[in-house]
């Protein structure tokens, strides 16, 4: 998946607001730790062909798939390494942006420590890192449900989703909502989220303390820059955070006034819609296509079929005819306008 909270363009705006003179992501060095099959990093490498992107993960399957997708999309500015963060030799000049999304809470404590330690040692002087984790405040009640569901699965020798369905029929008030929310995630997400072998939720305070011990300075939320706290998280039952860090010795410059905002970009629907190579691969592989803000857009299979034809050789009028057969329910013109406005086309 792509992760808008770990979008270097957004993270850079937060960092500049906090006085860190961070590099322009368009030509920066970007490292993603725990990149999985590479969807997030590939979307970044596709957006910024001058950026140098590196993804690492211990999963041989994940890295093989990431490499394959990169090859198919013809991306030369991204490389993938099958290695643990505990063993990875970073580049000497460090990285302008480090991303670690959905990793901290899913690894053993020694890897958590090693991860933050690596970031502390491998950020460039003005570099920033976006690190996400599950928050204990909101996960306490969920973990109690997970325990009960695991007990049902064990007793009934069944899988966790079936056990969750059984649990839903006997759940008490408060638990029902959590169980329903879990079911809505689907088996695949649940397997590496709620029911992952390691799913360790921490408090913001504890993560910041560990990061500071690794030579990092906390800048706030990676999207909004605000500095929340544990009490607030408990009050709101917060389950997830993505936080931004720079080096403790990074120079903090006086906050510059932001430039006057550029005019909102109006986009005209193209006569010959053309997705770039990466988005075409996503359409063919039924992966989410990211919009200009890196937000994943989920399409139906008929819509993906139409998107897979959008290589610049078919006119919008021709595609509208195809849509009548492929997706008769679809308001093609309105949909094409929407896709255009989300910045999908070259």
Ligand X SMILES: C[S@@+](CC[C@H](N)C(=O)[O-])C[C@H]1O[C@@H](n2cnc3c(N)ncnc32)[C@H](O)[C@@H]1O
Summarize as ranges the residues that interact with ligand X (CB under 6 A): 1, 33-36, 56-59, 62, 84-86, 101-103, 106-107, 111, 192
Least Å from the CB of residue 58 to ligand X:
4
Nearer Cβ to ligand X (56/304)? 56
Least Å from the CB of residue 111 to ligand X:
5
Nearer Cβ to ligand X (85/137)? 85
Nearer Cβ to ligand X (134/303)? 134
Helix (H, G, I), strand (E, B) or coil at 273: coil
Cα–Cα distance for residue pair 123/140, rounded to 1 Å: 33
* CA-based nearest residue to 337, from 286, 289, 282, 269: 269
Least Å from the CB of residue 236 to ligand X:
23
Helix (H, G, I), strand (E, B) or coil at 270: coil
Nearer Cβ to ligand X (18/107)? 107
Least Å from the CB of residue 161 to ligand X:
18
3-state secondary structure 125-193: EEEEEEEEEEEHHHHHHHHHHHHHHHHHHHHHCCCHHHHHHHHHHHCCCCHHHHHHHHHHHHHHHHHHC
Least Å from the CB of residue 224 to ligand X:
20
Burial class (CB in 10 A: 0-12, 13-18, 19+), 142: buried
Report the b/e string of 270-279 with b at 16+ CB within 10 A: beebebbebb
Nearer Cβ to ligand X (61/324)? 61
| Neighbouring C-beta atoms of residue 173, cutoff 10 Å | 6
Least Å from the CB of residue 90 to ligand X:
13
Nearer Cβ to ligand X (36/127)? 36
Q: What is the CA radius of gyration of the chain?
A: 22
């Amino acid at each position: 998946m792509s992760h808008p909270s770990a979008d270097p363009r957004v993270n850079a705006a937060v960092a500049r607001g906090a006085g860190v003179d961070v590099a322009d992501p368009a030509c920066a060095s970007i490292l993603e730790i725990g990149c999985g099959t590479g969807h997030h990093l590939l979307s970044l490498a596709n957006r910024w062909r001058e950026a140098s992107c590196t993804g690492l993960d211990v999963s041989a399957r994940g890295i093989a798939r990431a490499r394959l997708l990169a090859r198919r999309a013809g991306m030369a500015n991204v490389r993938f390494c099958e290695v643990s963060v505990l063993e990875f030799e970073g580049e000497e000049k460090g990285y302008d942006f480090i991303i670690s999304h959905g990793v901290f809470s899913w690894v053993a404590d020694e890897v958590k420590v090693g991860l933050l330690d690596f970031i502390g040692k491998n950020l460039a002087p003005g570099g920033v890192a976006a690190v996400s984790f599950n928050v204990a405040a909101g996960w306490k009640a969920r973990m109690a449900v997970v325990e009960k569901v695991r007990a049902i699965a064990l007793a009934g020798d069944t899988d966790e989703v079936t056990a969750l369905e059984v649990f839903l029929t006997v759940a008490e008030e408060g638990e029902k909502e959590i169980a329903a929310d879990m079911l809505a995630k689907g088996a695949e997400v649940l397997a590496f989220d709620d029911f992952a072998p390691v799913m360790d939720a921490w408090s913001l305070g504890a993560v910041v303390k560990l990061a500071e011990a690794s030579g990092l300075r906390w800048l706030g939320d990676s999207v909004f820059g605000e500095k929340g706290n544990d009490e607030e998280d408990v009050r709101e039952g917060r389950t997830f955070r993505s936080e931004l860090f720079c080096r403790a010795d990074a120079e903090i410059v006086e906050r510059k006034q932001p430039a006057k905002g550029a005019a909102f970009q109006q986009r005209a629907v193209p006569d010959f819609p053309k997705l770039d190579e990466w988005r075409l691969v996503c359409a063919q592989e039924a992966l989410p296509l990211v919009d200009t803000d890196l937000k994943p857009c989920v399409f139906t299979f008929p819509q993906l079929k139409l998107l897979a034809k959008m290589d610049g050789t078919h006119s919008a009028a021709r595609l509208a005819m195809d849509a009548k057969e492929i997706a008769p329910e679809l308001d093609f013109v309105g949909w094409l306008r929407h896709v255009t406005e989300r910045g999908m086309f070259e």
